[in-house]
Amino acid sequence: MTRKVERTTRKPVMTKDEWIAKHLRHAPARDEEWVHRLLVLQGRA
């Protein structure tokens, strides 16, 4: 648990575009709308 927290702390905060790109890399293009809705729910869009 501690190791995971340290890794997260060291990692720079992703921009919205980077976050979307990261998730779309593992998802079909048709899921882009779903990813956007998830961002909206998280308050990141």
What's residue 20's pLDDT?
75
Q: Annotate 6-33 with three-state secondary structure.
A: HHHHHCCCCCHHHHHHHHHCCCCHHHHH
Residue with the bigger pLDDT between 14 and 4: it is 14
How far is it, in rounded angstroms, from Cα 12 to Cα 16?
A: 13
What region, left, alpha or beta, does residue 11 occupy, with left being phi > 0 and alpha being psi -120 to 50 degrees? Answer: beta
Residue with the bigger pLDDT between 39 and 8: it is 39
Residue type, 25: R
- Hey, what are 8's tokens? 């997260």
Residue with the bigger pLDDT between 42 and 11: it is 42
- Hey, what are 1's tokens? 């648990």
pLDDT digits 0-9 by tens, 5-36:
555 556 667 788 887 777 777 666 667 788 78
What's residue 45's pLDDT?
54
